[in-house]
Structure 1
Amino acid sequence: MAVPVASAAGRKPSVRARDARWRGALAVLEEVRREPGVTRAGMAQRLGLTTGSATEITARLRELALLAETPAAASGRGRPTTVLHPHPDGPVVIAADVRQEDWRIAVAALDGRPRVTEAGTHASREPGRVIGVIAEAVRRACEQHGDRVRAVSAAVAATVRHGRVVQSAALGWDAVDLAALVPDPRLPLFVGNDATLAGAAEARYGAAAGAGTALHITIEVGVGGTLVVDGRPVAGATGAGGEFGHLPFGDPALRCPCGAAGCWDLTVDGRAIARHLGEPQPRDPRSYAQAALGRATWDAPVRSAVGRAASAFGRGLAGLINAFDPGIVTLGGFAEPLRAAAAPEFDTALTDGLMRFRRPDPPPVVAAALGGDGALHGAAVTALDGVLTEEGLSAWAAERAGRS
């Protein structure tokens, strides 16, 4: 798309005309995000565009290095069409996933699909050291992609309020400033809870795509998740909503690292399994739980401990279904393997916990389509939502014009 210039009479295009032009481009880019590799004909049909309009818009997007086109595979006698995908010189965002034991950095183009470029294990959970290591990886990614980088987004195993980390039971953090992750202060930084972002991605183009109301639950170290309504997470007044693991569904005699008593977190992950086995609390509950599932097939005490955790999970999930009335429930992280490993215990607890009218037709509970990459996908979604705006495209077009 060309940058609006003065007309022959010396007048600039009206704001309404300029915005309409960007809106058409944004609609096309959204289709590419929703379905990478969509054909131009398919995109035009879904958006109700004429062949001429589709051709004009895609030509502008090619000119701006936003989209590239390649011939689509022949399919019958119809007119040949092209496949749309991000331009190799187009904008990218950098997504970070900060978990209890490790971290990952990924780069995503306009299709929103993150490609992991670096990963590592925390040598220390001291906030400054963790942030410093990840910031260096972000800096390297920025140097590699130069001016193409338009934003940085971080998914963190933490409670996020007003875009800032205020507490992380998993990492042992209180309030932590992540501003140092961005090497250039002109780059916007988006910060979100990892489970919330994973749920947003599942609703956008995962297992919950098309659902009006979806509940996403993930288990890593404790329980996280989000309720997504019409594609948007319900994050509460300050953005700190969705802390399902800190509902008092557990043993009130147990004090959670978050400071509350009786948290659901402590009943469903590797810490619960270890406690049921009389073993010390594991340093990495996620890895411990994964190993326990492997042992559960032949070790009766471990199978019993896993069953107790699955039962606690099913009972709490029933409460959330009763409260939120979702159309679908997606399970990420350790949640789906836990359910599968002890299906009878999970199913019984879930059914017993549902209100009677729900039992004949409960919402489907399905595995998350994005698997362990959900948080990275969500971070990329959030960053691109912030970049792919009329203002964002205008800035990209102006910079390209300045370089030419």
Structure 2
Amino acid sequence: MASPAGRTPSGRPPSVRARDARWRGALAVLEEMRREPGVTRAGVAQRLGLTTGSATEITARLRELALLAETPAAASGRGRPTTVLHPHPEGPLVVAVDLRQEDWRLAVAALDGRPHVAEAATHGDREPGRVAAAIAAAVRRVHRRHGGRVRAVSVAVAATVGHGGVVQSAVLGWDAVDLAALLPDPRLPLFVGNDEALAAAAEARYGAAAGAGTALHVTIEVGVGGTLVVDGRPVTGATGAGGEFGHLPFGDPALRCPCGASGCWDLTVDGRAIARHLGEPPPPDPRSYAQAALAAAERDAAVRSAVGRAASAFGRGLAGLINAFDPGVVTLGGFAEPLRTAAAPEFGAALTGGLMRFRRPAPPPVVAAVLGGDGALHGAAAAGLDHVLTEEGLSAWAAERTG
């Protein structure tokens, strides 16, 4: 590592190549710890092709910089004892926020990327300034508690996101909203992403789509969201606003969506669709309404029929996405998996009927997402850590620790 002033022993600034070499092994070790919490030093060394001495040296330097900690691993056979790698208790943190239709949650994540919820609240109302102020106050409290350990703030929001900010949210009733007020320190980076795109990225890294080169993540909360993930990264388009599956015109063109378009798929698959089929007014919270409808479907034939119609609409649209994107696996989040399960015959028939003939013998597996309702928080934490776990990010941390 460099001296406290960031210079070589000769006093000259290190070259770019030297800086790269300095952090390359450290980043690889930290990424393994992030990929598999609880991994041992011996396991990391084996995966990365490191000698025992190199692994020991790298982890020692990372301990000195408060980037990881080690605890003795459980004995297994007569081999040389090893250690389990963990984030250092004084190490870097990112603040992750999940901003949804009815509420928000704030979590803190260390270098293993696992978010731990610190605060949560429902919206008093959805006026953007008041929502942002409530979240900003919570972020400031976390920042005061942890100080310079906080390296980034990352927000997953139920909205269309473009150029790093909110451009529109049909579910929140927002148009363009600036979330810069969430930063407790203007020197910190702020990352804003669509909640389902971030959940998809997390599912591809840590969840049911891990190891798949091309994965399609689709979720239902208030409408349909998701994205295509290629090699672990969501495909979000030229401005970041891609993945708005719910606004594909798969629905009834006579229905006007809050987004401003007609015929959106959103309106055919969630609690609003079930209520409409039952002749009831749009529910204030389509998510909780849909959950209640699934619970009632077993004993009420009319509700069962309404749920089946929503499941059919979901299956048809999903078939269109499979035809278009050719994913290796499809993961379902939110209300999507319970809807499929509750009306499996209707969903299955619609999905099969919508697939191109050559796909029907071997369609991609459609599986439940394993991160559940925490997928967006995991994804937001990952986006923040992608900034921290770079040569520049570690260099800045090291300079502050030693300087």
1:136 paired with 2:132, answer no
Conservation of the 8 A alpha-carbon contact between 1:3 and 1:397? no
Q: Which residue of 2 aligns with 1:214?
A: 215
Q: Which residue of 2 aligns with 1:336?
A: 337
How far residue 15 of structure 1 moved from its aligned partner, in angstroms, is: 2.4
Question: Take 1:100 and 1:28, find their aligned partners in 2: how far apart are those partners?
Answer: 38
Conservation of the 8 A alpha-carbon contact between 2:254 and 2:262? yes
Q: Which residue of 2 aligns with 1:245?
A: 246
Q: How does 1:60-99 map to 2 (within 5 A)?
A: 60-99=61-100
Task: Spell out, residue by residue over 1:313-349, the C-alpha distance to the aligned partner (whole angstroms, 9 max, x if none).
Answer: 0000000000000000000111111111111110110
Between 9-18 and 198-207, report the one with greater CA deviation: 9-18
1:177 paired with 2:178, answer yes
Q: Which amino acid aligns with 2:163?
A: H
Residues 9 and 186 of structure 1, relative CA distance in 2, 3 Å threshold:
closer
Conservation of the 8 A alpha-carbon contact between 1:3 and 1:394? no
Residues 268 and 53 of structure 1, relative CA distance in 2, 3 Å threshold:
same
Question: Take 1:36 and 1:108, find their aligned partners in 2: how far apart are those partners?
Answer: 13
Q: Which amino acid aligns with 1:215?
A: L
Q: Which residue of 1 aligns with 2:55?
A: 54
Conservation of the 8 A alpha-carbon contact between 1:206 and 1:369? yes
Q: Which amino acid aligns with 1:288?
A: Y
How far residue 18 of structure 1 moved from its aligned partner, in angstroms, is: 2.1
Q: What secondary structure sits across from 1:17 in the alignment?
A: helix
Q: Which amino acid aligns with 1:333?
A: G
Task: Spell out, residue by residue over 1:260-288, the C-alpha distance to the aligned partner (whole angstroms, 9 max, x if none).
Answer: 00000000000000000001100000010
Q: Which amino acid aligns with 1:72?
A: A
Conservation of the 8 A alpha-carbon contact between 1:2 and 1:64? no
Question: Take 1:156 and 1:55, find their aligned partners in 2: how far apart are those partners?
Answer: 41
Residues 350 and 72 of structure 1, relative CA distance in 2, 3 Å threshold:
same
Q: Which residue of 2 aligns with 1:199?
A: 200
Question: Take 1:75 and 1:249, find their aligned partners in 2: how far apart are those partners?
Answer: 56
Q: Which residue of 2 aligns with 1:290?
A: 291
Q: What secondary structure sits across from 1:400 in the alignment?
A: helix
Q: How does 1:157-176 map to 2 (within 5 A)?
A: 157-176=158-177
Q: Which amino acid aligns with 1:35?
A: E
Task: Spell out, residue by residue over 1:104-156, the C-alpha distance to the aligned partner (whole angstroms, 9 max, x if none).
Answer: 00000000000001111001001011111111111111111111000000000
1:102 paired with 2:98, answer no
Conservation of the 8 A alpha-carbon contact between 1:253 and 1:261? yes
1:325 paired with 2:326, answer yes
Q: What secondary structure sits across from 2:125 in the alignment?
A: coil
1:146 paired with 2:183, answer no
How far residue 68 of structure 1 moved from its aligned partner, in angstroms, is: 0.2
1:397 paired with 2:398, answer yes
How far residue 369 of structure 1 moved from its aligned partner, in angstroms, is: 1.0
Task: Spell out, residue by residue over 1:370-403, the C-alpha distance to the aligned partner (whole angstroms, 9 max, x if none).
Answer: 000000000000000011111110110010112x
Q: Which residue of 1 aligns with 2:366?
A: 365
TM-score (norm 1): 0.98
Q: What secondary structure sits across from 2:175 in the alignment?
A: coil
Question: Take 2:200 and 2:139, find their aligned partners in 1: how far apart are those partners?
Answer: 24
Question: Take 2:9 and 2:115, find their aligned partners in 1: how far apart are those partners?
Answer: 44
Q: What secondary structure sits across from 1:154 in the alignment?
A: strand
How far residue 205 of structure 1 moved from its aligned partner, in angstroms, is: 1.1
Conservation of the 8 A alpha-carbon contact between 2:3 and 2:9? no
Conservation of the 8 A alpha-carbon contact between 1:2 and 1:63? no
Q: Which residue of 2 aligns with 1:303?
A: 304
Residues 8 and 360 of structure 1, relative CA distance in 2, 3 Å threshold:
closer
Q: What secondary structure sits across from 1:209 in the alignment?
A: coil
Question: Mind listing any 5+ residue stretches in structure 1 that lack a counterpart?
Answer: none
Q: Which amino acid aligns with 1:157?
A: A
Q: What secondary structure sits across from 1:119 in the alignment?
A: strand
Aligned-pair identity in percent equals 85
Q: Which residue of 1 aligns with 2:231?
A: 230
Question: Take 1:362 and 1:224, find their aligned partners in 2: how far apart are those partners?
Answer: 21
Q: What secondary structure sits across from 1:330 in the alignment?
A: strand
Between 189-198 and 19-28, report the one with greater CA deviation: 19-28
Q: Which amino acid aligns with 1:225?
A: G
Q: Which amino acid aligns with 1:325?
A: D
Question: Take 2:341 and 2:144, find their aligned partners in 1: how far apart are those partners?
Answer: 43
Q: What secondary structure sits across from 1:31 in the alignment?
A: helix
Q: What secondary structure sits across from 2:137 in the alignment?
A: helix
Conservation of the 8 A alpha-carbon contact between 1:107 and 1:114? yes
Question: Mind listing any 5+ residue stretches in structure 2 that lack a counterpart?
Answer: none
Conservation of the 8 A alpha-carbon contact between 1:2 and 1:60? no
Q: What secondary structure sits across from 1:79 in the alignment?
A: coil
Q: Which residue of 1 aligns with 2:35?
A: 34
How far residue 8 of structure 1 moved from its aligned partner, in angstroms, is: 4.9
Question: Take 1:228 and 1:8, find their aligned partners in 2: how far apart are those partners?
Answer: 45
Question: Take 1:169 and 1:268, find their aligned partners in 2: how far apart are those partners?
Answer: 15
Conservation of the 8 A alpha-carbon contact between 2:108 and 2:118? yes
Question: Take 2:112 and 2:10, find their aligned partners in 1: how far apart are those partners?
Answer: 39
Question: Take 1:332 and 1:181, find their aligned partners in 2: how far apart are those partners?
Answer: 27
Q: What secondary structure sits across from 2:46 in the alignment?
A: helix
Task: Spell out, residue by residue over 1:292-327, the C-alpha distance to the aligned partner (whole angstroms, 9 max, x if none).
Answer: 111011111111111100010000000000000000
TM-score (norm 2): 0.98
Question: Take 1:351 and 1:9, find their aligned partners in 2: how far apart are those partners?
Answer: 69
Q: What secondary structure sits across from 1:174 in the alignment?
A: coil
Q: Which amino acid aligns with 1:44?
A: A
Q: What secondary structure sits across from 1:139 in the alignment?
A: helix
Conservation of the 8 A alpha-carbon contact between 1:215 and 1:328? yes
Q: Which amino acid aligns with 2:88?
A: H
Q: Which amino acid aligns with 1:396?
A: W
